Structure 1
Amino acid sequence: MSGYRERAAAGLDCVWERSSDVATSGRVVPDGRTDIVFTRGGGLVVAGPDTTGHVTALGPGEVFGVRFGPGVGPSALGVPAHVLRDLRVPLAELWDGVAELEEALAVAHDPCAVLADAARRRLRATPPDPVTGAIAGAAGTPVAALADDLGLSTRHLHRRSLDAFGYGPKTLHRVLRFDRAVKLAWAGVPFADIAHRTGYADQAHLSREVKDLAGVPLGQLIRP
């Protein structure tokens, strides 16, 4: 039996799991987030923030993940987001005690819950930069105005955005708008309505942005 599902997890964007009876592939696209991924028999890996879509091979078996909200993961992982951009890195390179965590995950009835607890413990010890929410929520605000609102220079704002998200503010807002559009498309919203609701100039603008960030047209991206 194969499938993918997400569920809510307090303090995190979500936890997710994927299972497949056969080897397959899937397209990963930018979403402004960082994941910790556990594969049975394959250990723990950090998936850094992506800048463009790519196809990844998926072997048969079960995969479990915890997804941090935008700007949150790097504080738990202990490195700036731009260091992880477009990379997949063994968690053992960033955290101590990973062997023990992998042992707990291997026998857990609900590996997602174990991963979520580990992620929340790290976040309690090292909370995210307090400006990340303001940066992520400022779509459409000119960078200079946002910096002024936060009492930062534009250079300082750019550096803190790179550290938290892996992107500067303009790229971040582009990626987050794309992510909102893709979620609406998966929910069955007509493409013209998606363009209007997410602030694209028109459907053609939406199509260009999706093709640029995902590498394929929106209809192909959401095809089962």
Structure 2
Amino acid sequence: MYRERPARFGDGAVVWSSRGDADSSGRVLPDGCVDLIWGAGRLFVAGPDTRAHVFTVVHGQEATGLRFAPGAAPAVLGVPADELTDRRVPLDGLWNVARVRELSERLAAARGGAGAVLEAIAEGRLRRAADPGGAWRPAVLAALHAGRGVAETAERLGLSERQLRRRSLSAFGYGPKTLARVLRMQRALDLARSGTPLAATAVLAGYADQAHLAREVKGLAGAPLSALVAGRVGDTSGQSPG
């Protein structure tokens, strides 16, 4: 069972909770997001993925997480996103051990309120952040969502391509080309899952053709698009305990 709701501080963040109804496996697909997760009595961070993260869940296993929108996590976590790419990192490897122990005690006592505790942690950190959003971040996401190339996106922001790459790695954990591939795949999955034929999905999502779509999705997701759409490979679309 999986549930989610928008985080109270906005910026596209989501609070989620999950409970394994049976022993199972699944995969989290690359989406540019970073999660702060409380599960099995520990706090850890799931960084932005460049490939599918396959996981297993046992019956009754519970987890609660705070998923940050692409580029938003560094302001809370205090580390560049590219230090977390394709990694699951204990929070006490990033923050003061005593502080993480105190937070873990709060979460253990919160029971059904763990999500609210995670929100409070993030809100406190955001209030102290020098640049919690970064006006350039949504501009990059909008440009790449629209299918603009890296050179055009950099020019629109008044940056060199090297500057855009450096900023993107720090904020998103990806260079802009990889970020564009991830966003395009997510757009294609949304279209295909809504019933759009695959040939039309390829065109609307910005692929050269359906064969290009199939290659890209399999390369990033590790499974065919048809199997992902049909739910035959345990894709949770980010709904996992990390």
TM superposition score normalised by structure 2: 0.83
The question of 1:114 aligning with 2:125 is answered no
The question of 1:8 aligning with 2:33 is answered no
Q: Distance in 2 between matches of 1:42 and 1:189?
A: 42
- Deviation string for 1:125-150 (max 9, x for gaps)? 21133311111111222222222222
Deviation at 1:188, TM superposition (A): 4.3
Q: Distance in 2 between matches of 1:35 and 1:169?
A: 20
Q: CA RMSD in A?
A: 1.9
Deviation at 1:187, TM superposition (A): 4.1
Q: Which amino acid aligns with 2:198?
A: F
The question of 1:144 aligning with 2:151 is answered yes
Deviation at 1:83, TM superposition (A): 0.7
Q: Distance in 2 between matches of 1:190 and 1:93?
A: 45
Q: Distance in 1 between matches of 2:195 and 2:122?
A: 32
Which residue does 1:95 correspond to in 2?
Answer: 95
* Equivalent residues, number: 221
Q: Residue 195 and residue 120 in structure 1: after superposition, are their counterparts in 2 closer, same or farther (change >3 A)?
A: farther
Q: Which protein has greater RCO, CA pairs closer than 8 Å, 6+ apart?
A: 2
Contact 1:161 1:169 in 2 (8 A): yes
Percent identity reads 53
Deviation at 1:21, TM superposition (A): 3.8
Q: Distance in 1 between matches of 2:67 and 2:197?
A: 27
The question of 1:191 aligning with 2:198 is answered yes
Deviation at 1:112, TM superposition (A): 1.6
- Deviation string for 1:94-138 (max 9, x for gaps)? 233222221222222221222122122222221133311111111
Which residue does 2:19 correspond to in 1?
Answer: 19
Deviation at 1:70, TM superposition (A): 0.7
Deviation at 1:6, TM superposition (A): 2.1
Contact 1:75 1:129 in 2 (8 A): no
Contact 1:50 1:85 in 2 (8 A): yes
Q: Distance in 2 between matches of 1:52 and 1:184?
A: 20
Q: Residue 125 and residue 184 in structure 1: after superposition, are their counterparts in 2 closer, same or farther (change >3 A)?
A: farther
Contact 2:51 2:222 in 1 (8 A): yes
Which residue does 2:47 correspond to in 1?
Answer: 48
- Is there any run of 5+ residues in structure 1 with no aligned partner, and where? none
User: Secondary structure of the equivalent of 2:203?
Assistant: helix
Moved more, 7-16 or 78-87: 7-16
Contact 2:32 2:49 in 1 (8 A): yes
Deviation at 1:79, TM superposition (A): 0.8
TM superposition score normalised by structure 1: 0.90
Q: Which amino acid aligns with 1:129?
A: G
Q: Distance in 2 between matches of 1:118 and 1:195?
A: 40
Q: Distance in 2 between matches of 1:21 and 1:144?
A: 47
The question of 1:129 aligning with 2:134 is answered yes
- Deviation string for 1:18-70 (max 9, x for gaps)? 1114332111210011111111x331110001011131122331111111011
Q: Distance in 2 between matches of 1:18 and 1:189?
A: 29
Deviation at 1:169, TM superposition (A): 0.8
| Moved segments of 4+, more than 6 Å | none
Q: Residue 95 and residue 111 in structure 1: after superposition, are their counterparts in 2 closer, same or farther (change >3 A)?
A: same
Which residue does 2:185 correspond to in 1?
Answer: 178
Moved more, 65-74 or 110-119: 110-119
